[in-house]
Amino acid sequence: MKSLGVLILILWSTSALAKECGEAGAKHWTTVVKTAAAPVTMRWTGVIEGHDSVCGISFSRTPGRVQNRSVWGEPQVNAAQSLIAFSSCADDGCDRSLVVADIAQGTVVKGMLPLPDRQLYFSVAWSGSQRTLSVNVEGIQGQPPQHLTCSVSERIVCAKRGL
């Protein structure tokens, strides 16, 4: 009976990984990234007006127990802290939302950048091996660039930082 449960779990997790996401007819593929807590399989999709994006992740911190999480965006991996940040940018700017998958905790945290709701472009990177994201916002229409620091715990908290 135990082997039947494991077989069902394997078939379910395989079908969850195979589930397509994104635009109809888009190219799909997977990659694996190693984090301190567990290897993570990322499900990718091609995007017509933007960057290729990850639309789901799967990982197993304990044998036989696969966790699947829905996410969207371009990943930035912090392997030492087992964190993956996702931001989403397209031809018309970046979405102000950030998503961070905490592989060690098995959770996904969502937050909004304190930026105006207009066409902006930014890049996201982890600051060293800590639980801190650095967000660099491009200056547009004569505005100077902005820099944000976001700490990640049970929630995402961002503040402007000086140059």
152: Cβ–Cβ under 8 A, 6 or more apart, which residues?
A: 83, 85, 100, 102, 109, 131, 132, 133
- Give this prediction's pTM: 0.83
Report the domain count for the chain. Answer: 1
Contact by Cβ (8 Å): 101, 71: yes
Domain extent, residue 91, equals 2-160
Counting as low any pLDDT under 70, the low residues of the chain are: 1-20, 162-163
Per residue in 61-97, pLDDT (tens digit) is: 988 899 999 999 999 999 999 999 999 998 888 999 9
Closest CA to 59 of 46, 97, 75, 93: 75
